[in-house]
Amino acid sequence: MEEPSDNRQKKVVAVVGGGLVGALNACFFAKRGLDVEVFESREDIRQAKVVKGRSINLALSHRGRQALKHVGMEEKIVSQGIPMHARMIHSLNGKQSPIPYGKKSQVNRLPATYKLTNHSETYPNAKLNFDHKLQDWNGTKEHIQADLIVGCDGAFSAIRKQFLRRSRFNYSQTYIPHGYMELTMPPINGEFAMKPNYLHIWPRNTFMMIALPNLDKTFTCTLFMPFDEFEKITTGDQVIEFFQKCFPDSIPLIGADALREDYFRLPAQAMVSVKCSPYHIGDKCVLMGDAAHAVVPFYGQGMNAGFEDCIVFDEIMEQFNEDLAAVLAEYSRVRVPDDHAIADLAMYNYVEMRAHVNSKWFLFRKHVDNILHFVMPKTIIPLYTMVTFTRTRYHKAVERWQWQDKVNTPTFYFLKYKTKKNYHVDITSFSSYSFILHINNL
């Protein structure tokens, strides 16, 4: 009997884009035994004296960790990060109030890391090519032959531009009216200026500032604000006046002189949300990461969604025995609704972070959600838990959230009425135990 041939060794995959998603994809494909070539238009940042481009706050949660785990990189990457257990809300009067993510759950703040690039080079069937810019479908500065082209080249993808030449390809991009500016909060006496294991948020309704810890004991502070508000501030004195009005507790931590200087170092940067469909052309090309679904950063899922693209594609490869025509069509069918859902959620979460967290009614509902989840863990699951700490498909999480909201709303109003009428408790300070006692006494 003739031995079945192994088609895996015959397939060559060209990954365009050597960032985080491209490097992780290289690991997935190489692990499968496919020949992989990664093409990156920039120089190798591991060897660059000056790294060009913006800094990015990276928050690694469950979806990303599962993808990293599949290629043996979870612990190596997580060990480079800082665990964050909760949001820390900074009010105007300087009060700080934590909002936990969930029981035994955390997000890991990651530094810029080259470990995925290094790991992809450990596979003998993976090759990285830097300073190679895509010219056309045929390849780069040299012509290459590939069975599959994977576009991982970011929000302004050159691969996706090729899709736009074809009919029945849907594409939209939306710039939100808010920009962002990054500032640095230095260590104080060699230690973090604030508690490090939190996502610090200064919500101010129409804008906000956040701060995330770094391994060098600094915080990266990011101010998100409408562009017209940024443009009103033109002098150093106006910067200090604005921060005294909106973020007074941050001035001694960042430093007044540093604020005056850093605010004008770079102009506010824009944020874009990209949606498209389908993600593939025949059996030859597929989009992943920001090339398929750039999202605004307010749910901390951009990198995680990109990493999950890799593991979803690998699972479908396994399901269809690497039949690329079937794999690519199924990948688009499965992934498009999920990525569109997380793009919408990221937009929604900006409103939640900058405004809703100031509302006692919102905090009340958060506490009730958490209690109901504690009492009925399989029936009531908070949206943030589904998105950040499970691999529930994004669009299924949204559908479940909407159903739970409809079911729970009468309960929220009833409990709010009873607690106000009979107990006069501070709804922002409920503990799980005391809340259950109050429910039992209603």
pLDDT band at 437 (very low <50, low <70, confident <90, very high): very low
When the pLDDT of each residue in the chain is averaged and rounded to a whole number, the result is 83
Residue 17 pLDDT greater than 50, yes or no: yes
Task: Examine the pLDDT at 336 and tell me if it is beyond 90.
Answer: yes
User: So where are the chain's domains?
Assistant: 7-83+105-172+273-338, 174-270, 359-441
Q: List, for residues 264-310, the tens digit of each pLDDT value.
A: 999 999 999 999 999 999 999 999 999 999 999 988 899 999 999 99
Residue 91: which pLDDT band, with cuts at 50, 70 and 90? Answer: very high
pLDDT at 58: 78
> Is the pLDDT reported for residue 139 higher than 70?
no
Superfamily of domain 7-83+105-172+273-338: FAD/NAD(P)-binding domain (3.50.50.60)
Three-state secondary structure string covering the chain: CCCCCCHHHHCEEEEECCCHHHHHHHHHHHHCCCEEEEEECCCCCCCCCCCCCCCCCEEECHHHHHHHHHCCCHHHHHCCCEEECEEEEECCCCCEEEEECCCCCCEEEECCCCHHHHHHCCCCCEEEEECCCCCECCECCCECCCCEEEECCCCCCHHHHHHCCCCCCEEEEEEEEEEEEEEEECCECCECCCCCCEEEEEECCCCEEEEEECCCCCEEEEEEEEHHHHHHCCCHHHHHHHHHHHCHHHHHHHCHHHHHHHCCCCCCEEEEEEEEECCEECCCEEECCHHHHCCCHHHCCHHHHHHHHHHHHHHHHHHCCCCHHHHHHHHHHHHHHHHHHHHHHHHHHHHHHHCHHHCHHHHHHHHHHHHHHHHCCCCCCCHHHHHHHCCCCHHHHHHHHHHHHHHHHHHHHHHHHHHHHHHCCCHHHCCHHHHHHHHHHC
What percent of the chain shows pLDDT beyond 90? 58
What pLDDT, in 10s, does the model give residues 92-128?
999 999 987 765 556 676 665 678 888 888 999 999 9
Higher pLDDT, 394 or 82: 394
Q: What pLDDT shows up at residue 188?
A: 96
Predicted confidence band at 367 (pLDDT cuts at 50, 70, 90)?
A: low
| pTM: predicted TM-score of the whole model, two decimal places | 0.83
